[in-house]
Chains A and B, each alone.
Chain A
Amino acid sequence: MKALLICPMVRPAVPRLAESGPLATAPIFGGCVVIHWIEHLAALGASQIEIIAPDGASQVREAVGNGARWGVRVSVTASSVEPTRQEALNQYHPAGEPGWLPSPHDVVVMSHLPGSPGMPLFESYGSWFSAIIAWMPLALTPASIRIAQVRPGIWVGSRARVSPTAELIAPCWIGDQASVVAGAVVGPDAILEDRSVADGTARVTRSWVGPDTFVGPMTCVANSLAWGNTLIDWRTDSLLHVPDPFLLSSLASPKAAATTDRFGRALPTKRPAEAKHGLITAMHAPLGSAADLKLHA
């Protein structure tokens, strides 16, 4: 069965989400928008998915590869415009042509997450945050082997490190290889993406912390999107580049960035990634199992 995915172009309301790549590759729950859509369509029975990429086609290609990891065939086509669903239907899916997924899964504009058509992603930073928080319970698919729900409303990556004295308040998501250090509080409505760190007594609430982001000790990230040293208040769209790295900073060193893709996977033609930051290895204080965690479902 065939399906067509249309990547959204840069939206003026959320320029920062497209700073390091097209919106379709904006990181969410250990993957990105386009990856979650491919997983969804593959689960519906798609075997051949064409992706129309108005910008950053090469980065979309880098993110999805040839689709083999989902058992589908994926091709990415660059385009100068973002076609509407109707335009794409007219151009790529003539009426009555067999072999396509049933509507509306046949042609999808990725302006929302799978199964959440009423939650637009890119209308504002607030809509982005609301959409991903609402989608959190749907993010765990049968294919997600690195994340488990350890308590109702609390998802933790299998290689995440959570101190026994840290506090996780549902709903929250601790991504793969993320660290929550002693005394830190994460949640409610908090997402710590892969390889991020909430250092001792840090507090992350009603916020999304992007991948490879360090939240420093005693800092409080609330009602915000934090990625690298960028902090956006999703209620007001106010943006701050935090000047002091011990408060908020990126853990992705230039060297690591050169040897891994945006998702931290080693690039095949280069040397494997080395430890990204001495801080991570220095933080491995005694950490407990999931059963020891202080959890508030």
Chain B
Amino acid sequence: MKIESNGDSLCVSEIQELTAVTSASFRDGVGYAINATTSVIEIDLAQTRFMDSSGLGALFALYRATSKRDGLVLRLLNPVPEIEQLLELTQMQQLFEIVRR
């Protein structure tokens, strides 16, 4: 997983999978990287091939944490169709701004 901070934006990419094994490090890594100036968080899911309920839980925890801060935008980028299906199945696509670039 790669976390890049560029001014007020935070980009998380190269996430191979979000599962019970990796979701804690994802949640902690992103949590530590967010600072007072962060206004945009982009989670690039282009390389994410597998996600389970733990991964969904990590995304939801991030949503909960960011929704408390006014003006902080959370986006999911380029999810593969399978991950998008999982987000739709759990209705989590309603929570996130999903962007394809």
Contact = CB atoms under 8 A, between A and B. Distances in A.
Contact of A247 (B50, B81, B90): B90
Contact of B53 (A222, A224, A233, A243): A243
Nearest to A223: B88
A240 B53 CA distance: 14
Given A243-B50, A243-B52, A243-B53, A238 B89 contact: no
A64 B81 CA distance: 38
A238 B83 CA distance: 10
A280 B84 CA distance: 29
A222 B50 CA distance: 20
Contact of B81 (A222, A236, A244): A236
Given A243-B52, A243-B53, A244-B53, A219 B89 contact: yes
B39 to A, nearest CB: 31
B85 A231 contact: yes
A222 B52 contact: no
Contacts, number: 39
Interface in B57-86: 81-82, 84-86
Contacts of A248: 89
Q: Which range contains the number of B residues in contact with the other chain?
A: 10 to 19
A220 interface: yes
B89 A247 contact: yes
Most A-side CB within 10 Å, residue of B81, B85, B91: B85
A231 B82 CA distance: 9
B67 to A, nearest CB: 19
A294 B81 CA distance: 34
A238 B53 contact: no
Contacts of A242: 86, 89
Contacts of A222: 88
Given A244-B52, A244-B53, A239 B89 contact: no
Contacts of B81: 233, 236, 238
Contacts of B84: 238
A239 B82 contact: yes
21 contacts: A218-B90, A218-B91, A219-B90, A220-B88, A220-B90, A221-B89, A222-B88, A231-B89, A233-B81, A233-B85, A238-B84, A238-B85, A239-B82, A240-B82, A240-B85, A240-B86, A243-B50, A243-B51, A244-B52, A244-B53, A248-B89
Interface of B: 50-53, 81-82, 84-86, 88-91
